[in-house]
Amino acid sequence: GQQVMQIPQYQHVQEGEDFTTYCNSSTTLSNIQWYKQRPGGHPVFLIQLVKSGEVKKQKRLTFQFGEAKKNSSLHITATQTTDVGTYFCAGPLGAGGTSYGKLTFGQGTILTVHP
Amino acid sequence: EPEVTQTPSHQVTQMGQEVILRCVPISNHLYFYWYRQILGQKVEFLVSFYNNEISEKSEIFDDQFSVERPDGSNFTLKIRSTKLEDSAMYFCASSYRLRGRPVAFQETQYFGPGTRLLVL
């Protein structure tokens, strides 16, 4: 079935190192979204990418959407302990990818940052 | 800032019992969702709801599940006869709709803090 794959599953970094997580969809996406979930918390929306090849930045976070709109990445420069959590990509797979429909989440990448 | 609220935060129940999880979506939102997350796993879609009816549901959302908007503010998920495998965190989410958005753009879904359900 249609799915969103995310790697790596875990990433341990020293504070100050960079971090990247990658997301791949089995089908073309109308958009890709990224969420962060702190330990014990709920998913919090970070950003949405819509255009092919789009790149967006939020301070130390850089988000990319692939040219074919089937993959995406999140890169964090110089990680801090506040970056700890699970990062999920999500997309509107299935049923034509309606604007108000379900999100299909990737498995998430658990980031731990050692001070 | 407005937020989605959920009650209870934790629920422990015996297998076979009925549970009702409650959510208060953000007040001007029109689309409501339930997701679940089994411990250590990804977030999974259960159901979406708009205009007082289900607009989409997943394979997980079988006849044991139902949703309701009993009044203008609450949105509930009922599990009729709980099973051990229903143990999970259940998240409610809501989104609104702005006119003139590009079709490819999806309105942000705002998640509540979740209800942790434990079925014994």
pLDDT in tens, A82-96: 999 999 999 987 544
Mean pLDDT over B52-71 rounds to 92
Mean pLDDT of A16-25: 97
Say if residues B26 and B112 touch (Cβ distance below 8 Å). no
DSSP-based helix, strand, coil % in chain B, nearest 5: 0, 45, 50
Token couple for B78: 């009922």
The pLDDT value recorded for residue B73 is 87
Cα within 13 Å of Cα(B83), Cβ side: 7
A-chain residue closest to B5, CA distance: A42
> CB distance B55–A101 less than 8 Å?
yes
Share of chain B above pLDDT 70, in %: 93
pLDDT given for residue B2 in this prediction: 81
Distance CA A69, CA A106 (A): 15
Closest among B56, B1, B46, B58 to B21, alpha carbons compared: B46
Mean pLDDT in residue range B55-68: 93
Identify the pLDDT of residue A94.
59
Helices (H) and strands (E) in chain A, counts: 0, 11
pLDDT in tens, A28-72: 888 999 999 999 999 999 999 999 999 999 999 999 999 999 999
CA angle A62/A39/A83 to nearest 5° reads 30
pLDDT exceeds cutoff 90 at A14: yes
Q: Which helix (H) or strand (E) holds A36?
A: strand A32-37
The answer on pLDDT for B69 being more than 80 is yes
pLDDT at B37 over 60: yes
Give the Cα separation of A102 and B47 in Å (integer): 8
Which positions in chain B touch A92 (Cβ < 8 Å)? 106
Among candidates A35, A90, A102 on the partner chain, residue whose Cβ is nearest the Cβ of B48: A102
Chain B environment of A46 (Cβ under 8 Å): none
Q: Does B3 touch chain A (CB under 8 A)?
A: no
Task: Give the pLDDT score at A97.
Answer: 47
CA B52 to CA B37: how far, in whole Å? 25
pLDDT of residue B102: 60
In this structure, are residues B4 and B111 in contact, taking their beta carbons and an 8 Å threshold? yes
What pLDDT score does B51 carry?
86
Beta strand pairing status for B31-37 and B53-57?
unpaired
Give the pLDDT mean for A92-107.
71
pLDDT value for A102: 84
